[in-house]
């Protein structure tokens, strides 16, 4: 069974993430979308809310499992018996950080392969940070979020 982990903060999930999940699921038998619980980073949505939104978005995608983790990604990947990590690269700006992390994870777990996927061009500038900023100021999020999550995200971000 080919298992991959797609880790991230997903605060909140957006169409760029969905694009990557759709590409990733074609490559494996199971894709675990894993919300990183990072107590050092102030989040807009709780881990439980982020997982709920991911579950809603992927409810018709049988290969997707939604989970959360803390600690080292390589330890979590071993626990899930995953052979691959999926990450996205939007632009050169993502490259350096992703490259460093992939090499570090390879040092820690040589058996684990990081796979990079590129989103559809129109999502190449979409980030959760952008969603949070636009949402905070009451801007239009239709192009960035799945329809089913729009109200929830808009309401959550207005309260910030
Ligand atoms: N629009 C996108 N296209 C392709 N990959 C993406 C996109 N947005 C995020 N990713 C990738 O998804 C993974 C998880 O990213 P993360 O949860 O940090 O999302 P983010 O949108 O970058 O959020 P933030 O703005 O809070 O950092 C990373 O590998 C990131 O490069
Ligand atoms: Mg990011």
Query: 111 CA to middle of ligand 1, Å?
Result: 24
Q: What pLDDT score does 91 carry?
A: 86
Residue pointed to by tokens 């992703």:
98
Q: What average pLDDT score do residues 148-157 get?
A: 96
Task: Assess whether 142 carries a catalytic annotation.
Answer: no
Task: Identify the active-site residue in 26, 41, 42, 159.
Answer: 41
The answer to whether 36 and 68 are in contact (CB under 8 A) is yes
d(CA 49, CA 83): 28
Q: What average pLDDT score do residues 136-154 get?
A: 96
Task: Identify the active-site residue in 30, 90, 106, 152.
Answer: 90
**Mean pLDDT of the chain, nearest integer:** 96
Query: 80 CA to middle of ligand 2, Å?
Result: 23
pLDDT tens digits, one per residue of 33-83: 999 998 888 899 999 999 999 999 999 999 999 999 999 999 999 999 999
pTM of the model: 0.97
Query: 13 CA to middle of ligand 1, Å?
Result: 9
Q: What pLDDT score does 37 carry?
A: 95
Task: Assess whether 17 carries a catalytic annotation.
Answer: yes
3-state SS string over the chain?
A: CCEEEEEECCCCCCHHHHHHHHHHHCCCCEEEEEEECCCCCCCCCCHHHHHHHHHHHCCCCCCEEEEEECCCHHHHHHHCCCCEEEEECCCHHHHHHHHHHHHHHHHHCCCCEEEEECCCHHHCCCCHHHHHHHHHCCCCCCCCCCHHHHHHHHHHHHCC
Task: Assess whether 136 carries a catalytic annotation.
Answer: no
Pocket of ligand 1 (CB under 6 A): 8-11, 16-17, 20, 87-88, 90, 94, 119, 123, 126-129
């Amino acid at each position: 069974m080919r298992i991959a982990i797609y880790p991230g903060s997903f605060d909140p999930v957006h169409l760029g993430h969905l694009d990557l999940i759709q590409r990733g699921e074609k490559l494996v038998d199971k894709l675990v979308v894993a919300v990183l619980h990072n107590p050092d980073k102030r989040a807009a949505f709780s881990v439980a809310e982020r997982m709920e939104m991911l579950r809603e978005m992927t409810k018709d995608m049988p290969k997707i499992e939604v989970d959360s983790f803390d600690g080292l990604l390589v330890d979590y990947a071993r626990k899930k018996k995953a052979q691959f990590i999926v990450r996205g690269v939007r632009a050169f700006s993502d490259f350096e950080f992703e490259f460093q992390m992939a090499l570090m994870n390879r040092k820690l777990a040589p058996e684990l392969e990081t796979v990079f996927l590129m989103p559809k061009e129109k999502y190449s500038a979409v980030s959760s940070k952008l969603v949070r900023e636009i949402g905070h100021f009451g801007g239009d999020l239709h192009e960035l979020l799945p329809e089913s999550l729009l109200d929830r995200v808009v309401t959550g971000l207005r309260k910030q």
